[in-house]
Structure 1
Amino acid sequence: MGTETTPEDSEETEDPVGYFLQDLVFHGKTERTRQSYERVLRRFESFLATPEANPFGQSILPADATHRHCMAWVHTLRGDVESSTVATYAAYLHRFYAYMTQVGVFESNPMTLVMEEMDETIDKDPTRREIDVPTMRRFVADLGHPLHRAVVVTLLKTGMRVGELCNLDLRDVALTHTDAERAYELGNRAELDGRPDSIFVSPDPSFGKSTNGEERTASNKRKRATVVPIDAELKHVLVRWLAVRPDAVSPADPLFVGTSDRWGERLDPESVRHIVEMHARDWGWYRTGGGASENVTPHYFRHFFTTHLRDRTGDRGIVKYLRGDVADDIIDTYTHNWGDKVRETYEANIYSLLPAST
């Protein structure tokens, strides 16, 4: 974060946590990110305000906390959450103090020493819950809502990121289905010419910037544009969803829109995470405070896709191409041989997620 922000008067810093959270808005952080920071920072603030909890036995403000207060708070987390979560919470507090020091609200960052001495680290590649295909199939069978099933099956069948899913417009989806094609103008991108039943995932959409006439609330992290095949099962759930999809508020015509409070508005990552969390909890696959090794989230479906499709094809290149995270020289190989190599390999190996009678 930059250092251009300067507090203009003392009232602005009576609530330093609130001040920091407001600046996260200005820096374009998502609502989910801000909520995560707020939970952690308010928890730390409460710890400092409780005399019997902090090491000096008196209520103090975040501006007056020392490295000993910070170390004591980190210690209270151990045993309550996973070690990687301890590291994440500590990193949040470190960033808070670093920023408030940079803008001149605080005099120093007491977390600097704490971070140097901590044993916990943020696990970049956690061992995740193992779910086999038959179990995932039963999970999908429980998804009765057309939107929920379409969102989950799209994530599971394509391996795309949650932001990429939210940024899909009808123009990005080519479906050879009479009813869907009559109702909507689908797949009218040049990149989908000659590639029926496919999804185009662009690297262009970015948070706060306009794409296809709409300011986006999520960014695509894809390095290169990718065309992902739509198999018979994904086609079935997308057609079923389009049959009941509310009219979109946005002229960009998002593929996935809200069906409750935000009727017709583009689905955002927070809404997708809520959908997945709600159903994962029902299966005992999500626990508040649980880490990546325990909780099933939209990103878990990307892991599921990668693991199972790679094992079935034995072709890491195709999986990397479909994920959109491969180097240019390799991705060009699959781009130029898309029909023969990508679609045929994908359709021959993609796992089944729907009952045979569906």
Structure 2
Amino acid sequence: MSSADAIDVDDPVAYFLEDMGYHGKHERTRAAYERVLRGFEGFLAERGIDGPTAADRRACLAWVASLREEYAESTVATYASYCNRFYSYMTQVGAFDANPMTLVVEEMDETIDADPTRREISVPRMRAFVADVAHPGDRAVILTLLKTGLRVGELCNLDLRDLHLAHDAPARPIPRSGRAGARGRPDTIFVDPDISAGETANGELRAASNKRKRVTLLPVDRELRGALAAWLAVRPDARSSAEPLFCSTRDTWGARLTPEMVRETVTGYARDAGWYRTGGGASENVTPHYFRHFFTTHLRDRTGDRGVVKYLRGDVAADVIDTYTHNWGDRVRDVYLENVYSLA
């Protein structure tokens, strides 16, 4: 491309995202790219680098290394691919001279294990881990992740209306779900597929997406019900009228928990247990995503029913979801309650 064809862009990320829209990319996809690319810009700014045009290969390598301190390798690979595509496109249209991510991504392709062998934690060891969590909010969050297989963003998006418990807590009424799908089904968590990052749901702008295509009704067993009741008894008044189920009791008192807050909480406890090391990969570190892996592995082994587990995880085809939704009361719930492991 000649110098005459080159273009000058004040905000390369905004330019790239606008072009993605012209190419028909979904708003959710563009929001994901924006979150990663703005984070990349912030990383560069902290190191005195004036934006993506001034970044070289070593700066990109340092950014990828910083991601490994927080995310699993599969997530790191995804974020790196976003940045690589951004650079590749901006180079093709003449806004950038070169793509410093090319060698970085090529090297990652040779080293990343797409299906890492994860740390093996038995149910008794996990039970001992949970026993050390005294904070009622942290305990409710961790048990919800371990007992349901929810993704961290899905947990953060839960509102009080999504929870239907069968009895009252000691200090305040436990909510009966306002969701039609959960009425008549006590001890249930309703997971709404129609919540996306950057969009408003139940009157509140959301920062995370629910990655499900259909509604999922999750059974709540005795242990989880007790943990949720204990949390609701002390839960602070929420800042949002959406009444998030889980909100902060720390610096941002009453604010909806974010995935970052949950990750920080979980990794803090995991570090204390010797299950998390800065720089450690998915095969070593225990994170909220590891809890989803724990749920899948142990419940599948106990039930022998992959269909029930896939339904609960929310990652099956529509026809299977319809089958298990129809039989929820006498199939999914019964199988789950008969086989779910004890952690409290």
Tell me the TM-score range normalised by the shorter chain: 0.7 to 0.9
Shift of 1:202: 1.0
- Is the radius of gyration larger for structure 1 or structure 2? 1
2:289 to 279, 283, 299: 299
Aligned equivalents of 1:269, 1:343: Cα separation in 2: 28
Shift of 1:72: 11
- Paired position in structure 1 for 2:340: 350
3-state SS of the aligned residue for 2:143? helix
Shift of 1:188: 1.8
Counterpart mapping for 1:230-249 below 5 A? 230-249=220-239
3-state SS of the aligned residue for 1:287? coil
Runs of 4+ residues over 6 Å off in structure 1? 21-24, 80-86
Shift of 1:62: 7.0
Aligned equivalents of 2:55, 2:201: Cα separation in 1: 45
Structure 1 residues 289 and 103: CA distance shift in structure 2, 3 A: farther
Aligned equivalents of 2:60, 2:41: Cα separation in 1: 19
Structure 1 residues 100 and 173: CA distance shift in structure 2, 3 A: same
- Paired position in structure 1 for 2:248: 258
1:84, 1:120 within 8 Å by CA — same for their partners in 2? Answer: no
TM-score, normalised by the number of residues in structure 2: 0.80
Aligned equivalents of 1:303, 1:262: Cα separation in 2: 30
- Paired position in structure 2 for 1:287: 277
Shift of 1:335: 0.8
Structure 1 residues 22 and 302: CA distance shift in structure 2, 3 A: farther
Deviations 1:54-100 (A, max 9, x none): xxxxxx9975788xx569969x97xx999879867864653453354
Shift of 1:107: 1.8
TM-score, normalised by the number of residues in structure 1: 0.78
Aligned equivalents of 1:319, 1:110: Cα separation in 2: 42
- Same amino acid, percent of matched pairs: 61
Deviations 1:109-157 (A, max 9, x none): 2444664576525433211111010000011000010000000000000
CA-based RMSD of the aligned residues comes to: 3.7
Larger mean Cα displacement after TM superposition, 114-123 or 152-161: 114-123
Structure 1 residues 297 and 39: CA distance shift in structure 2, 3 A: farther
1:83, 1:121 within 8 Å by CA — same for their partners in 2? Answer: no
Structure 1 residues 20 and 300: CA distance shift in structure 2, 3 A: same
Structure 2 runs not aligned, ≥5 long: 1-6, 18-26
Structure 1 residues 204 and 86: CA distance shift in structure 2, 3 A: closer
2:248, 2:256 within 8 Å by CA — same for their partners in 1? Answer: yes
Structure 1 runs not aligned, ≥5 long: 1-5, 14-18, 50-59
- Paired position in structure 2 for 1:37: 40
- Does residue 332 of structure 1 match 2:318? no
